[in-house]
Amino acid sequence: MNIYEALNKLTWKKKEYFLWKHNLSVLREVPLTEEELCKRIQSKSLSYMKKWEKTEQYHNLVNIMIESQAGKDLEDIYAIVKEKALTGDEKSIKLLLDLQKQVQAYNKQSTKVNKSTNTYDDLELE
């Protein structure tokens, strides 16, 4: 599950707050101020949202967000390490090979999980 799927399970006010708090709103070039957000979610203050930040639900959302960002970070790191490895940097070569092994192991594990959970995907419904 990605962060946007998880956010769709929240009330619209909590979703708006989370998007604002973590600057995830892709439609706005200029982020809203706290006052503008309060108007948008029809609230006098964000105090109840700040209390929500201490809940397990909020922490789970933050973890999902970090996990999805980690994929992009890994892609960026891989490109940098690959570039250095191609120039002959020995440490980068070893690191690149290690990263490739880890990605292959993850893909094998991921494929096994997908096969076991998608057993009905090939069935035709009448």
- List, for residues 87-107, the tens digit of each pLDDT value: 999 999 999 999 999 888 888
Question: What number is the average pLDDT over the span 21-41?
Answer: 88
- Scan for tokens 């490739």, then name that residue: 100
pTM, two decimals, is 0.67
Among residues 81, 83, 62, 61, the alpha carbon closest in space to that of 73 is found at: 81
- Which residues are within 8 A (CB) of 58 and not within 5 positions of it... i.e. 6 or more apart? 18, 52
Question: What number is the average pLDDT over the span 11-39?
Answer: 90
| High-pLDDT (> 90) share of the chain, % | 65
What pLDDT sits at residue 108? 83
Distance CA 37, CA 33 (A): 6
- Scan for tokens 């982020």, then name that residue: 31
Among residues 33, 3, 11, 39, the alpha carbon closest in space to that of 21 is found at: 33
